[in-house]
Amino acid sequence: MPTVIALDVSLSMSRPVLIPDCSEEYERRHLAVNGINSLLDFMTQNCKLEFFSLVVFSYLWDQLVTFTRDFDAIKAALNKIEIFNKTCIESVLTGIKALIADEWSTITPSQIILITDGNAGTGPGSLKHSLERAAKSPDEKFPLPFAFPCILNIVCLANPTDPDLQSSLPLYQKLVELSSFGGEVFVPETVLNMKSVQEMFLRLANRYYAPFYGNLHCGNMNCAVQLYPSPNSCLQNPTGCKPLLSNTLKICGFLDIADVSSPPTISRHLVLPVGTKEKENENEQKASKSDDADGLLDDGRIPAFTVLLHGSLKVESMVALTQVGEDWFGLMYSWADSKKKSNLILALFEQGLDTLTWLGNFDHLASMSEFSESPYGEDDSKTPFPVRPAEKHSYAQSCVVWIKPSGLQADLQKVLRHARKLPDKQQQFYKELNRIRRAALAFGFYELLEAMAAMLERECTMLPGTAHPSAAMQLTHAANALRSDSAKDVTVTVMPLQTNFSTEDG
């Protein structure tokens, strides 16, 4: 999952740290850089596939490194940071919210590691002032909670007994609570120094980035595997409760892809083979950080059951029903992100035995050899799943659903894309326009008609000089039609404007 490291570069981070029996003088930012490097070293050893981004902030914020797996680039950027003015946490949270929303989808779990000196500040712009203003004026937009699942961890570089830290801890805890998806406030366990800061960052890493290792079993064959991303972090929910994934993943049987259809899943994970030696010495390697800690068999030189399984599922167009815990199942299948590369994926269902209604209870599934007659009948090309009901439910119709703002935004953007390709996309443009108009009328969302009309008029003014003459005419016609009295009649369809241009084009 993507992670944003937000580093405070305000003046207070340049304060010196008095370390007994140490001739060198360190600033708090130096301790922060050393701690971040320890975290990145941990990720290099255990989670090479994680995406990290580096953001620095004071009263304003700036993204120094975009989301990348090149941890050395982040280390290099840390050596070039500069100090600016006072701290404003609200501004950086607003910026991070936009960064993650633009780069990733609203359903992608993410993490934020906010590193500061433990002083929430005073006066306008301080964390206390921001929280009080948000509480008094709910209409004002406070960045938390985010529209996507996000774990917020706050790292404080201060002595545990520091009075400023003690007064700021309730404010930091309030931020974590507002994030809704969990997180913690981390404080050094001992006096602030290089060692205590490193230990604090490693505590965070072991708690939220520890890799998941397990054993994949299929009959007499087994293989040590790693799941990425770790289910321990992906399955976090707003209540703080998460199901327990077993370390033993047992393949119960195989199904045709057509039988499974498109099942609802809660998360997906790469299944990577792990060396036996790495599995046996997992704890020792974490402590020693040895060079051979990475046991992923990415060279393909050592036989692994996962390779056989992946190739078989891909060739036979089947999936493997896998038990991952008590009354908890998932599917393993081959998934290709390009024409040349495919991966073995584990998709997890909700806990329960009836999560796929058309398959029934998972405990009642059996091998086809146990049936006297094939459930497929004489024609093996036909599949009995999913079982379709005789009646046609309303949710099976092609309808518009706007549960979240992103859904409405996507539909409007589709209209704009067709509008910019007029007159070539004239038929698609009016089809989408009428679809959204009818949905707005069904929901009583009449304001959307005026908003769409204004949107099309604005698009008309932004047409380039090389645009087809018919494009401006069709946009103006559609905007006027949306404002007309007949636009609120659901039986009326907005038709294209008949022009000499459109006739010739046809």
Q: What is the pLDDT of residue 172?
A: 95
Q: What is the pLDDT of residue 279?
A: 47
Nearest to 264 by CA among 163, 358, 181: 358
pLDDT reading at 63 higher than 80: yes
Q: What is the pLDDT of residues 194-214, one digit of tens each?
A: 999 999 999 999 999 988 999
Mean pLDDT of the chain: 84
Q: What is the pLDDT of residues 477-496, one digit of tens each?
A: 999 999 998 888 888 899 99
pLDDT reading at 53 higher than 90: yes
Locate the DSSP E strands across 58-169.
61-68, 110-116, 150-156
Backbone φ, ψ for residue 150 (5° rounding): -150, 130
pLDDT reading at 505 higher than 60: no
- Matching residue, tokens 């038929």: 427
* Inter-residue contact 90 to 83 (CB < 8 Å): no
Neighbours of 201 (CB within 10 A): 23
Paired sense of beta strands 16-17 and 26-27, if any: antiparallel
Q: What is the pLDDT of residues 446-460, one digit of tens each?
A: 899 999 999 999 999
C-alpha span between 320 and 332 (Å, rounded): 5
pLDDT confidence band for 383 (50 / 70 / 90): low
According to DSSP, the residues that pair with 110 across neighbouring strands are: 150
At a CB cut-off of 8 Å and minimum separation 6, what does 110 contact?
1, 2, 3, 4, 100, 104, 148, 149, 150, 151
What DSSP designation does 113 have? E
Biggest distance spanned by C-alpha atoms of the chain:
88
Look at the domain 212-370 and name its fold.
Ku70; Chain: A; Domain 2 (2.40.290)
According to DSSP, the residues that pair with 333 across neighbouring strands are: 345
Q: What is the pLDDT of residue 301?
A: 66
Q: What is the pLDDT of residue 228?
A: 87
Nearest to 80 by CA among 64, 67, 66: 64
**DSSP-based three-state secondary structure for 460:** helix
Q: What is the pLDDT of residue 254?
A: 92
Q: What is the pLDDT of residue 300?
A: 54
Look at the domain 3-208 and name its fold.
Rossmann fold (3.40.50)
Q: What is the pLDDT of residues 159-196, one digit of tens each?
A: 999 999 999 999 999 999 998 888 999 999 998 989 99
* Inter-residue contact 330 to 348 (CB < 8 Å): yes
Is the overall model pTM greater than 0.85, yes or no?
Answer: no
C-alpha span between 1 and 69 (Å, rounded): 11
Locate the DSSP E strands across 119-276.
150-156, 185-186, 212-218, 221-228, 248-256, 267-273
pLDDT reading at 246 higher than 80: yes
Domain boundaries, the chain: 3-208, 212-370, 405-505
What DSSP designation does 362 have? G
Q: What is the pLDDT of residue 364?
A: 84
C-alpha span between 327 and 73 (Å, rounded): 44
Question: pLDDT exceeding 90 applies to what percent of the chain?
Answer: 47
pLDDT confidence band for 395 (50 / 70 / 90): low
pLDDT reading at 394 higher than 70: no
pLDDT reading at 299 higher than 70: no
At a CB cut-off of 8 Å and minimum separation 6, what does 390 contact?
none
Q: What is the pLDDT of residue 240?
A: 46
According to DSSP, the residues that pair with 318 across neighbouring strands are: 256
pLDDT reading at 503 higher than 50: no
Nearest to 321 by CA among 288, 364, 283, 374: 364
C-alpha span between 46 and 5 (Å, rounded): 18
**DSSP-based three-state secondary structure for 115:** strand
